[in-house]
Chain A
Amino acid sequence: MILTIARRDWAAAFKTPLAWLLLAASQLVLAWVFLRVLDGFTGLEPPTRSAGLNLDLSHNLFGTAAVLLLLAAPLLATRALTVERREGTDQLLGAAPVSLAALVLGKLLGLALPLLLVGLLPLGLTLTLLGVAPVDPGLFAAATVGLWLCALLFSAAGLYAASLSTQPALAAVIAYGILLLLSMLSQAAQLAAAQVSLLDWLSWNQHLFWFLAGVVRVSDLAYFGLATVLFLALAHRRLANQRLG
């Protein structure tokens, strides 16, 4: 049932210009960043350009992709639920033998595919350098995993925001608010020194940073997993409450 719902959303995303526009716009921005990074390395002697290139690409290119995902994922997620309400198809789902959990997971999976493709774009760009520059595939694979996990977290936060408001614009603003607040927690942690390291841990960009550095840590995987599940559970709770009124 989860797959049935996700497949419909995939088809809707790729039959309308939505997913293609997202991919095209992302590719344009990323290609520009990619060329700009490469530009800084042209003309340098081989020893000075090996390690720096990989990290520079990881931080700039994959970092930009994370920003694109931060912009796109909440919008797509809020749209996924509010469109159902606007078209009245939430009544179709509500009267079908589909649990709310399956609905929420189906929606997340439906969002995951176009966003995972966006997450693959920087990897594709960096792999074009294979053979002509000393690229580190392991580093870029880790960064791609980080992007995917970010995309899932942003989508889950977007779904939760959409469950709070029937207005797509308001829901998107709520989602951005939640995600920006989470990302700013690390700055609060820096202000207050080591006592509030929990705040640091709660901030998603701190965890993404390790992936972009090529380090895959269990604590980062656990953070993204737990935060995604938390937002999905909140969205589920909220939708169940709406039926109860």
Chain B
Amino acid sequence: MSALLDVVAVSRRFGAVSALSDLTFSLDRGEVLGLLGPNGAGKSTCLQVLSGNLAPSAGRVLIDGIDLARRPLAAKARLGYLPERSPVYPEMRVDEYLAYAARLRRVPRARVAAAVARVKARCGLERSGRRLLGKLSKGYRQRAGIAQALVHDPDLVILDEPTDGLDPVQIRETRALIRGLAERCGVIVSSHALAEVQAVCSRVIILRDGRMLNEAPVGPTRQPSGPPIEAAGETLYVRLARPASPEALNRLPGVAAAEPDGDGFRIRLVPGTGADGLARAIVAQDLGLLELTRPRSDLERLFFASIGAEAAA
């Protein structure tokens, strides 16, 4: 059986400029895939190709096994897409807009009202139905944009920077919404915010200059590969003034494991030991404690390692 989304060797050129080259990946139901990359990496172009707004110069996009280029209407019926800029008509009311989006996606007329009510509840728009979209705040317009992408219960949801312009409370709600979506469908989220991707995605693709640099599983408690890192105890990053070996740090009380990380060390503590205990032990050994912080996330390290900007970080 084919995956929910299969992207096979997709390239896209704009004249002489190559915006995407040889992109291949797949997505299953239940996954949230993050597209990560600096500005201009090709994230939005990639999502426009996946949504059928741009045709790829080469390669194929299959949604539920249906070729997006050969049978676009059948493939697009399974798709919900939020572009970078929320696609709303300022003169329409929220209810009218969502009903229109539902009709465009071939929701039967009798079921439109129920679909609109359901998606408004999911996106926190229950009390905004009569409001004009042009009068809504950016955050609410973004919610309306997300709602139109979900109104027909699509199998594949593509969200281009969904938390852009939202306040911290709305960001948390949107993340919860995306995680909820992943229970029934596949979700692709693009972002240039690492925290965003770390918070909601189960897998990440790192793009730069239209090329796929890395593909790795992520999550709040997992490394890109290997066993969970937080299970044993807290992990901290220390930088010392005097030279020390990992073995010497391993012998400190409360330290479970120490390994070099850049110009410092990444230290895993035994459960029950805190940062204060580690600081006391380092000071007692007179190692010259310069820095004691939470380590950079695995995703952050992966990202900077992938785009070759480790030094700049």
Contacts and interface: CB of A to CB of B under 8 A. Distances in A.
Nearest to B133: A87
Contact of B77 (A15, A16, A97): A97
Interface residues of A, number: 24
Nearest to A16: B91
Interface in A1-21: 1, 4-5, 8, 11-12, 15-16
A150 B106 CA distance: 33
Interface string A33-75: 0000000000000000000000000000000000000000000
B74 A97 contact: yes
Interface string B83-111: 11111111110001000110111100000
Contacts of A96: 76, 101, 104-105
Contact of B91 (A15, A91, A93, A94): A15
B246 interface: no
A85 to B, nearest CB: 11
B14 A95 contact: no
Interface string B267-280: 00000000000000
B191 interface: no
A95 B85 contact: no
B83 A91 contact: yes
Contacts of A87: 87-90
B89 A91 contact: no
Contact of A91 (B13, B76, B81): B81
Interface in B3-50: 12-14, 48
A94 B60 CA distance: 18
B72 interface: yes
A185 B31 CA distance: 62
A63 to B, nearest CB: 34
Nearest to A94: B53
B51 interface: yes
Given A1-B104, A88-B83, A95 B96 contact: no
A177 B223 CA distance: 63
Nearest to B90: A87
A118 B149 CA distance: 37
A91 B100 contact: no
Contacts of A8: 89, 92, 100
B81 A245 contact: no
A197 B109 CA distance: 51
B126 to A, nearest CB: 22
B89 A89 contact: yes
Contacts of A245: 12-14, 54-55, 57
Given A88-B86, A88-B87, A92-B87, A98 B104 contact: yes
A187 interface: no
A91 B48 CA distance: 8
Contacts of B79: 95
Contacts of A15: 91
B121 interface: no
Contact of B87 (A1, A91, A243): A91
A99 B73 contact: yes
A12 to B, nearest CB: 6
A136 to B, nearest CB: 42
Interface string A115-129: 000000000000000
B51 A97 contact: no
Nearest to B19: A245
Nearest to B87: A92
Interface string B168-183: 0000000000000000
A11 B55 contact: no
B144 to A, nearest CB: 11
A12 B54 CA distance: 27
Given A1-B104, A87-B88, A98-B104, A243 B55 contact: yes
Given A89-B87, A97-B77, A98-B73, 8 more contacts: A12-B91, A87-B90, A91-B87, A95-B51, A95-B52, A95-B83, A97-B106, A245-B13
22 contacts: A1-B104, A8-B100, A15-B91, A16-B91, A87-B88, A88-B87, A89-B88, A90-B53, A91-B48, A91-B53, A91-B81, A92-B148, A94-B52, A94-B53, A95-B51, A95-B76, A95-B79, A95-B83, A96-B76, A97-B72, A97-B76, A245-B13
Interface of B: 12-14, 48, 51-55, 57, 72-74, 76-77, 79-81, 83-92, 96, 100-101, 103-106, 148, 158
